[in-house]
Copies of this chain bind each other. A is one copy, B any other.
Amino acid sequence: MTTTMPAGEQHATRGRALQGERTRAAILRVAVDLASIEGLEGLTIGRLSTELAMSKSGLFAHFGSKEELQLATIEAARAIFIEEVVQPALEASERGLPRIWELCERWTEYAQRGVFKGGCFFAAASSEFDGRPGPVRDRIAGIMLEWLAALERGVREAQDSGHLDPKADAKQVAFEFNALVMAGNWAFQLYGDLKAFTRAREAIRDRLRSIATTGAPPMAALGISRRKSSSEKIARASAGE
């Protein structure tokens, strides 16, 4: 019980000075999943150390306080979110209508694929901490603002590219798209209903159509191309679960 992971074994060849970083990363990888299920407050040090088969104090030493652990977990989740949603969306699409669509599409995939075990980390965290002032809440709010700004920018760029009606309120559209994808995640988590994502996509497509110009790329092409390249990822994720 004292040592399930013998100390001398796993860093025989690697330099000792790097072990800390690696352990920290390993902790945070588990922490983000745990927090997405149990919440950032339900993410306890005892539970986390049990999950990782290490001592409470050993784990604790990496962060110094629970709040620091929470903040580190948030940063780790943000990195994963960017890597899984924002970056691929930007790389896979050109500016304009394709990009704003791609952002929403990648988001629903990210939620559907279960990148975090308990659904979108930030949807959960922002609901949990909205009433608790402090640095944790501030950071979460800041990151959600980044996401909303990314959506808004996507809309604005599509307007500049002549794909969307320039008279449309970009902030308003971003609000609506975020509402729809978050609701997809919400319904999926609560009811396990995959159709929720289809509903979100459908609503977003309709809304885009309602403000698309005649010069915009045809709507139908967007969804179809995306579906194909994503099917393998979904299969991979559901196999791992």
A171–B141 Cα distance when bound, in Å, is 31
Shortest distance between the CB of A21 and any CB in chain B (Å):
30
Q: Are B186 and A126 in contact (CB under 8 A)?
A: yes
Contact partners of A178 in chain B: CB under 8 A: 183
Scan A113-148; emit 1 where CB is below 8 A from any B CB, else 0.
000011100011011101110000000110011000
Specify which of A39, A117, A182, A189 lies most central, judged by the most chain B CB atoms within 10 Å of its CB: A39
One complex includes copies of this chain to the number of 2
Q: Is A42 an interface residue (CB 8 A)?
A: yes
Contact partners of A171 in chain B: CB under 8 A: 199
Contact partners of A128 in chain B: CB under 8 A: 39, 127-128
Q: Are A186 and B131 in contact (CB under 8 A)?
A: no
Contact partners of A68 in chain B: CB under 8 A: none
Q: Per DSSP, are chain A's interface residues mostly helix, strand or loop, or mixed?
A: helix
Q: Are B176 and A180 in contact (CB under 8 A)?
A: yes
Q: Are B179 and A183 in contact (CB under 8 A)?
A: yes
Q: Are A141 and B172 in contact (CB under 8 A)?
A: no
A140–B132 Cα distance when bound, in Å, is 23
A190–B179 Cα distance when bound, in Å, is 14
Q: Are B119 and A190 in contact (CB under 8 A)?
A: no
Scan A180-196; emit 1 where CB is below 8 A from any B CB, else 0.
10111011011100001
Q: Are B190 and A126 in contact (CB under 8 A)?
A: yes
* The 5 residue pairs across chains A and B that have the minimum distance between CB atoms: A179-B183, A130-B189, A127-B127, A37-B131, A118-B131
Interchain residue pairs with CB less than 8 A apart (29)? A36-B131, A37-B131, A38-B131, A39-B39, A41-B42, A117-B131, A119-B131, A127-B127, A127-B128, A128-B128, A131-B189, A141-B191, A144-B190, A145-B191, A172-B199, A172-B203, A175-B187, A175-B200, A175-B203, A176-B180, A176-B199, A179-B179, A179-B183, A179-B200, A182-B182, A182-B183, A182-B186, A183-B183, A210-B210
